[in-house]
Structure 1
Amino acid sequence: MTATESPPRPFDERRSQLRATLEAAAGLVVCLDFDGTLAPIVDDPDTAVPTERNRDAVAALADDPRVTTAIVSGRALRDVRERIDGPSIYAGNHGLELARKGTVAVHPIARKRAAQIDRLCSILETALRSVPNCRVENKRLTGTIHFRSVPAAAEPIARRITREVVDRFGGDALALSTGKRILEIGPNVRWGKGNAVELIAADEPPETAVVYIGDDVTDESAFRAVEPDGTGIRVGGDSPSSASCRVESPAAVASVLSWLGSTGTELVARSGRSRSTCLETQ
């Protein structure tokens, strides 16, 4: 455990700190992971959908002019945009592609190495063909090897094959990272969800409060990007994290989003009115 990582506290225990942050804020940015956050984790990633309460809560936040809402996902940009409507900003492939202000920006190194990702995914499809239920997902800029439905005895073999293939054919250009029952292949660059969140927040006025909610290892860079001035909320258990607080499940995420959409936005609006009054009386 590092100095910046400790077990996050339950959200209800940190609610007063978030209230204080919002009371001093000029605006609110809410950034959300998708799988395991808005949508429960499922064996087949193609069937993942947000819960109805999360879908409604995201739509309400997206409709509020006081809030900027963003989805920041490991899924390909086109994929995640089809799964949740409303937000004005989407980041796909762990921030390597970012849709905002009517344009899509792609990390230049990721674009150059897309052909290598495609080739490596094809090789892995052949190499892992004998592993039951192992799936290779080609997301153009990254690739994901899914082990959730792989028999327990076969998973270590599939992971070893994946690492050997990436070491042999990826070289220094590509890197392998871990997640929940997956391995991710991507360009070997220092870029992740945290960088995307920093770009999103930089477009907002000073003193804007930033909240990030996510559930996986890849969300830790985003937690570090928002903490301690903003609030990171980890979905899951109490293992060490750069997030300051946590909730148990996507069902609990909906409660947090509903609170942000009612009490949270009113606190921000009240802060704005207070500053306006102060300026008028000077």
Structure 2
Amino acid sequence: MSSMTAPHPIDDQWDRFRSTLADASQLLLCLDFDGTLAPIVEEPDEASPTPENEAALASLVSASAVSTAIVSGRALADVRDRIDGPKTYAGNHGLELSRHGLVAVHPVARKRTSRLEAVCTALETVLEPVPNCRIENKRLTGTVHVRSVPRRLRPVVRRHTHAVVDRFGNDALEVSTGKRIFEIGPSIPWGKGNAVALIAADLPSETVPIYIGDDVTDESAFRIVEPDGIGIRVGGDEPSAASCRVESPTEVATVLDWLGSVGVDLLESDTSELSSVDTSSFE
């Protein structure tokens, strides 16, 4: 398990990238969406991947030695509409997982959707007076967006959010904090890291995993891929389970371009064993 230390700038880590990929035959590349492929925007509905990230990801999707996955806090249907290409998607922080043509939903989260709806409805009423506060019901989880809320009112939103979840959640729901958001979800030990572990379990043992994300919810995924794989944090040098960092989605494109032009060539060329794997057991 990785410790929480300041991740190293990506420019200091290319030798490690080379040696890690040279020892592998396959690459599993998992990517967050908001703040990673797409810049953070004031209105979440307007988020879209940068053209550079979209093009670089498309190139990696077409590489036979690379498996790609999007792992997002957005609802599965939402994030699939925003970025095309990968065959695997995890939505709602891993509570929804689309792979092998099937969609699996965490059974506990499914059972708590009505309770979550009651919480979101109550928050709509309680937080209505707060300027620019937006409540998003993603069916399995909910998000209270405070990016555009006046800074002095954000603690008020936090208190009301916790109070409503405590009242209507009845210990079945919990609140976590992200970048200018409060996330509401089932109080179960499940997150993006669990989804990444399931995705990785489908692949050969010689596969190296790389995860790129920008928020607190990505830390469980960083812990899954490190230290055998590589976690890349998008943002500053705050302590993280990721060992590397880039500044922004613009630098994410640089990493994806490097993986597509250099990294793929470093992977062992013999991938014939993969064609003999019986994938029916994964479905």
Decide: shared fold, TM above 0.5. Answer: yes
Q: Pairwise mapping of residues 1-282 of structure 1 onto structure 2 (< 5 A)?
A: 4-270=3-269, 272=270
Whether the aligned pair in 2 keeps the contact of 1:34 and 1:73 (CA below 8 Å) is yes
Q: CA deviation at 1:161?
A: 0.8
Aligned residue for 1:153, secondary structure, equals helix
Q: Distance in 1 between matches of 2:2 and 2:153?
A: 37
Q: CA deviation at 1:26?
A: 1.7
Q: CA deviation at 1:169?
A: 1.1
Question: 1:220 is matched by which residue type in structure 2?
Answer: E
Aligned residue for 1:40, secondary structure, equals coil
Q: CA deviation at 1:3?
A: 7.3
Aligned residue for 2:261, secondary structure, equals helix
TM-score by length of 2: 0.94
Whether the aligned pair in 2 keeps the contact of 1:26 and 1:206 (CA below 8 Å) is no
Q: Distance in 1 between matches of 2:52 and 2:2?
A: 36
Question: 1:11 is matched by which residue type in structure 2?
Answer: I
Whether the aligned pair in 2 keeps the contact of 1:232 and 1:242 (CA below 8 Å) is yes
Q: Distance in 2 between matches of 1:123 and 1:66?
A: 48
Aligned residue for 1:266, secondary structure, equals helix
Aligned residue for 2:151, secondary structure, equals coil
Q: CA RMSD in A?
A: 1.3
- Residues 19-42 of structure 1 deviation map (CA, whole Å, 9 limit, x = unaligned): 111001020010000000000001
Unpaired runs of 5+ residues, structure 1, are 276-282
Q: Distance in 2 between matches of 1:154 and 1:74?
A: 24
Aligned residue for 1:37, secondary structure, equals coil
Q: Percent of pairs identical after alignment?
A: 64
Whether the aligned pair in 2 keeps the contact of 1:118 and 1:138 (CA below 8 Å) is yes
Aligned residue for 1:137, secondary structure, equals strand
Q: Distance in 2 between matches of 1:265 and 1:41?
A: 29
- Residues 76-104 of structure 1 deviation map (CA, whole Å, 9 limit, x = unaligned): 00000000000010000000000000000
Q: Distance in 1 between matches of 2:14 and 2:175?
A: 36
Q: Distance in 1 between matches of 2:119 and 2:57?
A: 36
TM-score by length of 1: 0.94
Question: 2:18 is matched by which residue type in structure 1?
Answer: R
Structure 1 window deviating more from structure 2 (99-108 vs 168-177): it is 168-177
Whether the aligned pair in 2 keeps the contact of 1:121 and 1:136 (CA below 8 Å) is yes
Question: 2:54 is matched by which residue type in structure 1?
Answer: R
Question: 1:94 is matched by which residue type in structure 2?
Answer: H
